[in-house]
Amino acid sequence: MSFAVRAITLDLDDTLWPFAPIGARIDQVLHDWMLEHSPATAAMFPVAAMRELRERSFRDHPHLHHDLSALRRLTLREALERSGASLDLLEPAYEAFYAARNQVEYYPDALDGLLRIAAHVPVAALSNGNADLQRVGIARHFAFQLGAREHGAAKPDASIFLAACERLGCAPGLVLHVGDHVEMDVAGAARAGLRSCWLNREGHDWRHEDIVPDLQFTTLTALADWLDAHAHAYADDPVREHAQ
């Protein structure tokens, strides 16, 4: 399939890097931090109990689902309060979490694929998560980063996709959103009027009844190859120059 792409919005977690190893590291880092700074909290909330507390906070505060940082702070605050610890530990504990959260291990194809894609068109990070591309170390490869917390709504809400398109200076139909999640990324982008690319690393079957991705690849390398093959669609494009 061939169509014009003037810019790309790119998911982060489970697209550039797997999140599961990060989540496991966060759990252990926070537990070790509590053992050192608040042993009573570590005793009351070992890894499994802290995870359960976090999941309950998520269920109990649906109005904060776009702000995972706020939900994490709520979890830490409750754990500290219930264990009788000082709330002066809240921000240092959050900082321990956030440092671990931004230690990522890329998929083998991710960085080279990102560099090749960014050589063709502007790329904007579009994520419901709370990774910080400056801390991660790859912000220079992106036109900007737009998170659900900053925007005030999370994917698949159409408004976050459209806000990214506006900042890119492109009509939605000229923007390709790339991500791993069937509903949050592919369906959300399609309903907002963007082109969609399903990064299907696990080779799953497509089972959505009313939406089909415009593109489907297992690696960013394959997407970069597709862009190479269709470079004529956006070469010397004034819209692209304006967006940069």
CATH of 7-17+106-243, one of 3.40.50.1000, 3.40.50.2300, 3.30.470.20, 3.30.230.70: 3.40.50.1000
Mean pLDDT over 160-189 rounds to 98
Q: pLDDT tens-digit profile of 60-111?
A: 999 999 999 999 999 999 999 999 999 999 999 999 999 999 999 999 999 9
- Residue 88 vs residues 28, 78, 81, 140: alpha-carbon distances, Å: 21, 13, 11, 35
Residue 206's pLDDT is 93
Domains of the chain, by residue range, sit at 7-17+106-243, 20-101
Q: pLDDT tens-digit profile of 196-220?
A: 999 999 999 998 888 999 999 999 9
- Residue 183 vs residues 1, 50, 208: alpha-carbon distances, Å: 22, 28, 9
Residue 105, Cβ density class (10 Å: 0-12 exposed, 13-18 middle, ≥19 buried): exposed
AA identity, residue 57 = S
Residue 237 has pLDDT above 80, yes or no: no
Quote the tokens at residue 136: 């991660």
Q: Give the separation between CA 9 and CA 86, rounded to whole angstroms.
A: 42
Fold of the CATH domain 20-101: Four Helix Bundle (Hemerythrin (Met), subunit A) (1.20.120)
How much is the mean pLDDT over the chain? 94
Q: Is the entire prediction scored with pTM above 0.85?
A: yes
